[in-house]
Amino acid sequence: MVFYGLQVNTALDFGNKILTEISTLQIEVQQGIIEPTLSLGFSYFKATDSSYKDVVERADQALYLSKKHGRNRATLL
């Protein structure tokens, strides 16, 4: 997801709200109930970025950090 105008300090709050909503879901399937989780990675444009690819790369790194540190979390780089 790309957000224009979202303040850096509110990005992680937004991600945590998404995680809270996802955690309330219970999806019934043939084998039983699934309780989904979600790992998120956020980043933002910095003055040192030369292109959008720098931001995407950091967001990808943030995603893998979320997974590495227990999953079901949001990480901002």
CATH assignment of the domain containing 42: 3.30.70.270
Is 60 inside a domain boundary?
A: yes
Is 40 inside a domain boundary?
A: yes
* Structural domain containing residue 53: 8-76
Our separate counts of H helices and E strands in the chain read: 2, 4
Is 29 inside a domain boundary?
A: yes
> By the 8 A CB rule, do 28 and 38 touch?
no
- Give pLDDT tens digits for 20-73: 999 999 999 999 999 999 999 999 988 999 999 999 999 999 999 999 999 899
pLDDT beyond 90 at 1: no
Is 65 inside a domain boundary?
A: yes
SS3 14: helix
Gap between the Cα atoms of 27 and 33, Å rounded: 5
pLDDT beyond 80 at 3: no
Strand ranges (DSSP E) for 23-73? 27-29, 32-34, 40-42
Output the pLDDT for position 5: 79
Is 64 inside a domain boundary?
A: yes
Output the pLDDT for position 9: 81
When divided into structural domains, the chain yields a total of: 1
Count, residues in the chain: 77
